[in-house]
Chains A and B, each alone.
Chain A
């Protein structure tokens, strides 16, 4: 396997990884392509992916790679650069379900993926999705439409937030202020959507030659 200088990038990782070594090899090549043969990637390196420009939440996706909460680091905030191990960590949020998972593992798996999405919304890292943060996401998603006024986007976001509040807290009194969607509330809203079967990227089968004879 091609190695970066210094420590081998595949030294013991702190989480169970069930991608095959071929898939790691491919991801490593992709990493080297993105990082231009450096050991780490910075935000600017994602600019070299033309397809990504299409995506309205490009900023949030790139941001997610550097979000320390996703990188399972103890501290909070944003990293400046990530190495291959971190890259794999983020990719692991998108690994598919395995057949032999039991209930508890499945539940943990699902929570991990939802936490990733939660962090995308919660940009100030305070553990709650406030109205303003919700508005930001909606505006970004709808930002490509030049005919859409800011007011419309806002009202859509507000409507959606009210909906979310009613699901999470039930009927609110006129004086009650809904502070924001916590992670537990977030989980409630995703009930019934089996995200764990949808939120993954499947590798195609790598072909190997020698064993076919």
Chain B
């Protein structure tokens, strides 16, 4: 026999009522607008309020630090050492001149030649360009997330209380809300696309598929509290084209797909991702590859070309960097997608780091940890620019075309245009690059040596 005290039943009732109220609010304010693609503007108000609070918090830290007379460390984004811009030839000439007085055109090797490479080596050990790109961009004002604050120790009581309140709100209110939304979004996507998949092919199916996709992505956007500003929407990708964007995190897909209807390209995964992928492809033709097929570049290119040539099929969404970069620069684009010959629609995505760092450092965090970090940030604020379409000119090859697109994206997003290969994060530098520096030096020494011995 289970005795329920009157107090207990009251608690149960209250709980039931509050959950119902919560879900109704959820439905009305978040899910229904997502379905119809309208917005109440709640998120923008939220963002403005947060900005005001952050400014106040930063001022407090600075004031507090000044009172205690501690210097504050501003994280240094441009590197810590002064690198000399002189070239290999200049330096070696200079050293030789000051030494034995021999000019560079007497080609013998000098003992002092080693010095240039030694110093360059030590400089890169102290501070190198590429690895810096791969850690999270360092902030200048504090956003009440302890994970981004180096000056955390210098906080006053009021600020600590505010931070504690922030933690409470983020972990106990926002996080469950977001998880509920994400869950809703994903399950709706899977069931929706499966149901639509049973319909006969035709305009009705297309219409429904598009709206199911859009609706679910919009719910996911709200699940992350992503506040996105789209610019130049008249340049949005059309059928038969390829949409190309810079890559900072897996969230990029959700951001772009909530504003347009794309065919995704990717490798089939197992687990939850695999379930989602298989459901999606029932409703509309996405391009999924088996793991073995991914290595075969010709097969990949062939399938993409077939897809692109069918004008009724959707624009493909591709991230040519191949990996996540920390959103301060754009790395080398892999040329595969640019060889296909379709119209390329570049898109630049720039995240505002003030509200939450969206960069996925895959060597540091796994996917689940990353998603949890995203869901416990304040918000994800980003801007998306749709750039005018580009096609490959007859006199340029795929690599040059890729670089041209990359520059356009970098310029628009205010990111640094780097020639480096994003794959460096995991692999080592290809040998061809290594040879360049050595070739230059040996040419200096040997080229002249051969001339001399010949004469």
Q: Find chain A residues with CB under 8 A from B122 CB.
A: 61, 91, 94, 201
Q: Find chain A residues with CB under 8 A from B71 CB.
A: 208-211
Question: Whose C-beta in chain A lies nearest to the C-beta of B120?
Answer: A55
Complex Cα distance A198/B122, Å? Answer: 13
A58 near B121: Cβ-Cβ < 8 Å? yes
A143 near B438: Cβ-Cβ < 8 Å? yes
Q: Is the interface of B mostly helix, strand, loop or mixed?
A: helix
Interface-located stretch among B93-101, B236-244, B401-409 = B93-101
From A51, A142, A213, residue with most partner B Cβ within 10 Å: A51
| CB of A147 to closest CB in B, whole Å | 8
B74 near A156: Cβ-Cβ < 8 Å? no
Interface-located stretch among B106-114, B202-210, B307-315, B379-387 = B106-114
B131 near A141: Cβ-Cβ < 8 Å? no
Q: Contacts A49-B128, A163-B108 given: A145-B100 contact, CB under 8 Å?
A: no
Complex Cα distance A174/B212, Å? Answer: 92
Complex Cα distance A148/B444, Å? Answer: 12
Complex Cα distance A182/B207, Å? Answer: 83
| CB of B332 to closest CB in A, whole Å | 12
Fill in one digit per residue for A109-130: 1 if any B CB lies within 8 Å of its CB, else 0. Answer: 0000000010011000000000
Complex Cα distance A53/B125, Å? Answer: 11
Question: Whose C-beta in chain B lies nearest to the C-beta of A54?
Answer: B437
Q: Contacts A50-B424, A209-B72 given: A159-B128 contact, CB under 8 Å?
A: no
B115 near A209: Cβ-Cβ < 8 Å? no
- Residues of chain A in range 193-213 having any CB-CB distance to chain B below 8 Å: 193-195, 198-199, 201-204, 206-211, 213
User: Cβ of B188 < 8 Å from any Cβ of A?
Assistant: no
Q: Find chain B residues with CB under 8 A from A152 CB.
A: 446, 449-450
Q: Within the complex, which residue of A23, A48, A148, A202 is in contact with B446, where a contact is CB–CB below 8 Å?
A: A148
Complex Cα distance A146/B78, Å? Answer: 36
Q: Find chain A residues with CB under 8 A from B424 CB.
A: 50
Q: Find chain A residues with CB under 8 A from B79 CB.
A: 204
Q: Contacts A57-B117, A204-B76 given: A30-B95 contact, CB under 8 Å?
A: no
B128 near A141: Cβ-Cβ < 8 Å? no
A159 near B429: Cβ-Cβ < 8 Å? no
Q: Within the complex, which residue of A51, A164, A195, A213 is in contact with B124, where a contact is CB–CB below 8 Å?
A: A51
Q: Find chain A residues with CB under 8 A from B397 CB.
A: none
Q: Within the complex, which residue of A49, A157, A190, A206 is in contact with B99, where a contact is CB–CB below 8 Å?
A: A190
Complex Cα distance A48/B125, Å? Answer: 10
Complex Cα distance A58/B80, Å? Answer: 21
Q: Find chain B residues with CB under 8 A from A192 CB.
A: 98-100
Fill in one digit per residue for A17-58: 1 if any B CB lies within 8 Å of its CB, else 0. Answer: 000001101110010011000000000001111111111111
- Residues of chain B in range 332-346 having any CB-CB distance to chain A below 8 Å: none
User: Cβ of A97 < 8 Å from any Cβ of B?
Assistant: no
B114 near A49: Cβ-Cβ < 8 Å? no
Interface-located stretch among B7-15, B35-43, B62-70, B214-222 = B62-70
B109 near A50: Cβ-Cβ < 8 Å? no
Q: Within the complex, which residue of B70, B113, B428 is in contact with A210, where a contact is CB–CB below 8 Å?
A: B70
Fill in one digit per residue for A123-162: 1 if any B CB lies within 8 Å of its CB, else 0. Answer: 0000000000000011001111110100010001101100
Q: Find chain B residues with CB under 8 A from A145 CB.
A: 435, 438-439, 442-443, 446
Complex Cα distance A201/B95, Å? Answer: 16
User: Cβ of B129 < 8 Å from any Cβ of A?
Assistant: yes
Q: Find chain A residues with CB under 8 A from B131 CB.
A: 33, 48-50
User: Cβ of A4 < 8 Å from any Cβ of B?
Assistant: no
Q: Within the complex, which residue of B80, B98, B126, B439 is in contact with A144, where a contact is CB–CB below 8 Å?
A: B439
A144 near B437: Cβ-Cβ < 8 Å? yes
User: Cβ of A189 < 8 Å from any Cβ of B?
Assistant: yes
| CB of B438 to closest CB in A, whole Å | 2
| CB of A95 to closest CB in B, whole Å | 11
Q: Contacts A51-B129, A152-B449, A156-B446 given: A209-B74 contact, CB under 8 Å?
A: yes
Complex Cα distance A33/B126, Å? Answer: 11
A199 near B429: Cβ-Cβ < 8 Å? no
Question: Whose C-beta in chain A lies nearest to the C-beta of B427?
Answer: A50
| CB of A128 to closest CB in B, whole Å | 14
Interface pairs A-B: 6 shortest CB-CB? A144-B438, A145-B442, A51-B124, A208-B71, A53-B429, A61-B121
Known contacts A121-B114, A142-B438, then 19 further A-B pairs from the complex at CB < 8 Å, ordered by chain A residue: A27-B126, A47-B428, A49-B131, A51-B128, A51-B129, A53-B429, A141-B114, A141-B117, A144-B436, A145-B438, A156-B107, A156-B109, A156-B446, A193-B98, A199-B115, A199-B119, A201-B119, A204-B82, A208-B71
Residues of B within 8 A of A (CB): 62, 65-66, 69-74, 76, 78-82, 95, 98-100, 107-115, 117-131, 135, 420, 424, 428-429, 433-439, 441-443, 445-446, 449-450
Q: What are 14 A-B residue pairs whose CB atoms fall within 8 Å in the complex?
A: A27-B126, A53-B429, A53-B433, A55-B124, A120-B118, A141-B114, A142-B445, A156-B108, A156-B445, A157-B109, A160-B110, A208-B73, A209-B62, A209-B65
